[in-house]
Structure 1
Amino acid sequence: MEKAEFFSEARRDLAGPLAGVRVLEATTTWAGPMCGCLLADFGADVVKVEHPAGEVARRSPPFLPGTDPPLSFMHETVNRNKRSVALDLHGDAGRALFVRLAAHSDVVIENFRPGTADAWGIGYAAVRAERPAVIYVSISGFGQWGPDHDRVGYDPLAQAASGFVSLNGPPDGEPVKSPTFLADDLAGLHAAFAALAALRHRDRTGEGQHIDVALLDAMLFQSTGYLTLGAMGVDLPRLGNQFRIAAPANRYACRDGAAFIGVLLDAHWRKLAEVLGRAELADDPRYATGLARIAHRAEVDALVADWTRARSTAEVLAALRAASVPCEPVRSYAEAAADPHVRARDMLQEVDRRGARVPLTGPAAKLSRTPLRVRFAARELGADTETVLAELGVGRAERRALRAAGVVAGPLPSENPD
């Protein structure tokens, strides 16, 4: 299929399938912002509320080359497609204004430590009193209830507590956390999915509800069933790059790099045996079935490793792809970014930011009728404060008073750099 054919009936008059859904976000760092990012990418009108000093993601390195003043990769990635309101929630006036904004929102997202939003007067009870049908999403390390609910929780802590870290890393080395914000990403994804399910329920019944997503729970749910195995006493050794349910499946060194090869089916093995020049092994009872190959993992790994070691990565990939044996090069992110296929899939979408063209990671899902895209870059802090408050019905005099009191901040429309 060609790209133009896939999008032949695409609508260009909508921000996305969630056009018309209003989301209010009071979040920091990654998990909460990722939930908002997903909803924004799908077309929702997401208003992100930050302290007038800005949240931590704006100051987190690495910074994007060529941007002046420098911009954080975190903030620019996860806060695109959102409007920005600078609002101080530490005082009564700011909290009251937040609740007013929430009363006009379909979804509210917060990712503070459990009890914080309630203590500030912006929790589910306070918002529900003004907007009974609200979908209120709370994301935290360990959830809103349970023995450990009040613990401080961050991404690597959830990875460690879930058991994930115990299985990650080389078999003969130390346990290693994920290099990405895995727990945050999964919690944000589950939160966005739950918000959509709750919106569907509200549309049918008129009922709002509180959604509680824990980073720990998200990690455990996505543990490939290992939590069940752990509960039943099944030993789970750390395998490194090996694949627990198949062999040979591993990273194999080549003359000038490495390739990841995955033989998941017996048909793959028969084809691989031919490529290796060992066609007699295709039906060898030691290797002919998946269970047999797992039992002889070291042997089949050695067969493949000996073959790849003498060849370049390009030679390995060409031979295996010609035989339809699953394989891919082990690449850096820089190499992935240069891949024409990655570009063709719109996984990098450029925006102008402070003197630089910045290629932001694009949405993963492709919708033929309501395409997703990076509609606009992350906004300067408080860039939309005036507009959003005016939409809320806050008059010019009140806005001036709030600004003078330090409750809100951001450039006035005439000086807005975005």
Structure 2
Amino acid sequence: MAVETNQTADGRLPLAGFVVIEAGSMIAASYCGQLLADFGATVIKVEAPKGRALDTLRQWGRKYKHGEGFLPSILNRNKQLVTLDMSVPEGARLFAELLKRADALVENFKPGILAAWGLGEAQLAALNDKLIHVAISGYGQTGPMANLAAFGAIAEAMGGMRALIGFEDRPPARLGVSIGDFLAGLYAAFGLTTSLLERQKSGKGQLVDVGIYEAVMGVMEDLLPVYTFFNAVRGPVGTGFDRLAPSNIYACRDGGWVLIAAPTDGPFRKLARRMGKPELLDDERFKTQSLRADHRAEIDAIVTQWTKTFDSGELVKLLRTDDIPAGKSYTAADIMVDEHIKAREMVIRAYDERTGEVPMQGVVPKLSRTPGRVSHAGGAVGRDTEAVYAQLLGLSAEEIAGLRSRGVI
């Protein structure tokens, strides 16, 4: 079924041979597709033809000389990039032909859009009853809010995350990355691979319905039982933990910041001795983990007074000598030169024909026998259109040229 590409020619890759059609825009669907492609799936990303509205992903971030930021280079890595206008009848028919040959469809259209193009659930099942349809949306495919417009930021707020970020005397803050979208993409990839396993038993595809706010709710720890049983609404706790201390970020002499996590008895004993303050171990305020949490501000102040006498790199080495969990708050500059990150191949470089090699995150997770890989970065809109339509659909050069002249691709 798969188009022969450098992603699928190597049978060691665990998802080799599976064909995924990715349609939509922004981050969530794109990240799902990236994860699948990293492990060998043939992911065909469908975008609007040139001259139409660009995927918002291609307008994201600081633009380089090719007119885009670098997020598309990362999220579209290992993929085949084609153009198609699915909103016109001829385009919808061509899209249907792709789906007949696919194992999965990943999309993040507003609910109802596919049905308006004649590709609702019943039609998709009639086309290909083995097709796994992954639908990502703000609020899910059902319920009273299903058809409302949403972005990841709104879903993060509804899922309870925004209320936990920041400080009590300030408005709820953003994490700094589009975490809701990335969580949704991760759950989508999990739902798709789970459905592939189930399909081996049933022979049938199914709908994988991912609401972004639900992906956020899925990682909200004990938020709901704490409210139910203690009538307590968790709020922001700044840089530390509500019930763990010392476990915070501490200022250093050079202006850097170091995370120290020593809330349990063993690490705290080591920290007290390393600070030259063994008397803290007999202090009634700090004798147990629970008591230290009750006096979080006091113990944090003591630790900060000590950390300010060190440069950040020096402090981390000192703490790690005693096996106290600690690390610098890394910037991109730190990540690029860290030897452990290098050894783990978590900074790699992939070729984008428009910019040359692009540094980016490596493949996660690391599989011992069938590891994923990155063969190339994302690229220009429609880079692989002719090859995909010729190989997968068997269209001739003349047919492809006709579709292009009519604005279908």
Which TM-score band (shorter chain)? Answer: over 0.9
Bigger mean CA deviation after superposition, 251-260 or 13-22: 13-22
Query: Aligned partners of 1:124, 1:36: CA distance in 2, in Å?
Result: 21
1:316 maps to a residue whose letter is L
- C-alpha RMSD over aligned residues: 1.7
Bigger mean CA deviation after superposition, 174-183 or 192-201: 174-183
Given that 2:108 and 2:137 are in contact with CA atoms closer than 8 Å, whether structure 1 keeps it comes out as yes
Q: CA deviation at 1:130?
A: 0.9
Corresponding position of 1:131:
128
Which of 35, 38, 52 in structure 2 is aligned with 1:38? 35
Q: Which secondary structure state, in structure 2, belongs to the residue aligned with residue 282 of structure 1?
A: helix
Q: CA deviation at 1:312?
A: 1.6
Query: Mapping of 1:300-379 within 5 angstroms?
Result: 300-353=299-352, 354-379=354-379
**Identity over aligned pairs, percent:** 38
- For structure 2, the residue ranges without an aligned partner over 5 or more in a row are 1-8
Task: Answer yes or no: is 1:385 the counterpart of 2:371.
Answer: no
Given that 2:10 and 2:16 are in contact with CA atoms closer than 8 Å, whether structure 1 keeps it comes out as no
Corresponding position of 1:261:
260
Query: Aligned partners of 2:346, 2:180: CA distance in 1, in Å?
Result: 22
2:99 maps to a residue whose letter is A
Given that 1:220 and 1:227 are in contact with CA atoms closer than 8 Å, whether structure 2 keeps it comes out as no
Corresponding position of 1:277:
276
Corresponding position of 1:61:
61
Corresponding position of 1:5:
none
Query: Aligned partners of 1:139, 1:305: CA distance in 2, in Å?
Result: 44
Corresponding position of 1:397:
398
Q: CA deviation at 1:330?
A: 1.4
Query: Aligned partners of 2:397, 2:320: CA distance in 1, in Å?
Result: 65
1:147 maps to a residue whose letter is P
Query: Aligned partners of 2:298, 2:288: CA distance in 1, in Å?
Result: 14
Which of 234, 237, 240 in structure 1 is aligned with 2:232? 234
User: How does the TM-score come out when normalised to structure 2?
Assistant: 0.92
- What stretches of structure 1 move > 4 A for 4+ residues in a row? none
Q: Write out per-residue CA displacement over residues 141-198 of structure 1, whole angstroms, 9 at most, x where no aligned residue.
A: 0010111111111111111222211110123322101110100000000000000010
Given that 2:263 and 2:292 are in contact with CA atoms closer than 8 Å, whether structure 1 keeps it comes out as no
Corresponding position of 1:243:
241
Query: Mapping of 1:145-160 within 5 angstroms?
Result: 145-160=142-157
User: How does the TM-score come out when normalised to structure 1?
Assistant: 0.90
Over 3 Å counting, the alpha-carbon distance change for 1:338 and 1:124 in structure 2 is farther
Corresponding position of 1:411:
none
Given that 1:113 and 1:152 are in contact with CA atoms closer than 8 Å, whether structure 2 keeps it comes out as yes
Given that 2:253 and 2:308 are in contact with CA atoms closer than 8 Å, whether structure 1 keeps it comes out as yes
2:89 maps to a residue whose letter is D
Query: Aligned partners of 2:228, 2:116: CA distance in 1, in Å?
Result: 37
Task: Answer yes or no: is 1:298 the counterpart of 2:310.
Answer: no
Q: CA deviation at 1:365?
A: 0.8
- For structure 1, the residue ranges without an aligned partner over 5 or more in a row are 1-11, 409-418
Query: Aligned partners of 2:35, 2:280: CA distance in 1, in Å?
Result: 48
1:307 maps to a residue whose letter is W
Q: CA deviation at 1:329?
A: 0.8
Bigger mean CA deviation after superposition, 257-266 or 389-398: 389-398
Number of equivalences: 394
Corresponding position of 1:81:
78
